[in-house]
Amino acid sequence: MLASRGICIVIGYILGLFQTGYLYGKLHHIDIREHGSGNAGATNTLRTLGVKAGLFTFFGDLGKTILAMLAAWLLFHTKYPDGVRLLVMYAGLGSVLGHNFPFYLKFKGGKGVACTAGFILAFYPPMAPVCLLLFIVVVAATKYVSLGSILVAACFYAQLLVYGQLGHLWVRPDLLPEVYVLGAVFSLLILWRHRENIKRLLHGTENKFSMHSKEKK
């Protein structure tokens, strides 16, 4: 299954290259990376181009990850029926990597939060409500989108471990350690992409979310 892992990452990366926010901005003659935080993700698109653009970007980024995972499942569910759950994780991870580091944009993409949300929904939906509720509560209380995203990354991984140990992930026991490692990579990628936000949060200089602010998310 080693080669299949690589194939799934490539499938995901290719689909992840569809930069929804960047392409939406280009259709409106705007390079989203030259506005707001300079990020190509949903938050900056929302702030720069409005609610419609932000929602379009979020669901576009979420959807491309689900599509990548579906493609991996269709390709390998017959050949590896007891390992396809792991392979779809690799496809989801590839989508996050393509989104975060698109080669044609000099590896300057988004932060992978919407893509990770798509992965969660496609891989094990019961994890999604707690993550969503946590994000809403944190952002509503603090106005820090970055803090909400960081805590969701931790929440997702904690749930992955719990559900995995309870046997709810429909993964072979011998593949669980690899599932946990991949899950950690998803979470660590979010933390890495938010490293500047973390520094500002620790120093009390992180800007709060506003549709019309020039903050850095």
3-state secondary structure the chain: CHHHHHHHHHHHHHHHCCCHHHHHHHHCCCCHHHCCCCCCCHHHHHHHHCHHHHHHHHHHHHHHHHHHHHHHHHHHCCCCCCCHHHHHHHHHHHHHHHHHCCHHHCCCCCCCHHHHHHHHHHHCHHHHHHHHHHHHHHHHHHCCHHHHHHHHHHHHHHHHHHHHHCCCCCCCHHHHHHHHHHHHHHHHHHHHHCHHHHHHHHHCCCCCCCCCCCCCC
State the CB neighbour count (10 A cutoff) for residue 182: 17
Percentage of residues of the chain with pLDDT beyond 70: 96
Check residue 5 and give its pLDDT: 98
Check residue 211 and give its pLDDT: 55
Q: Which of 52-56, 127-131, 137-141 has the lowest mean pLDDT?
A: 52-56
Average pLDDT over residues 41-57: 88
pLDDT reading at 212 higher than 70: no
Is the model more confident about 187 or about 38? 187
pLDDT digits (tens, 9 = 90+) for 28-41: 888 888 887 778 78
Residue 80 has phi, psi (to 5 degrees) of -130, 70
Q: Please, what is the average pLDDT of the chain?
A: 92
Average pLDDT over residues 189-197: 95
pLDDT digits (tens, 9 = 90+) for 135-167: 999 999 999 999 999 999 999 999 999 999 999
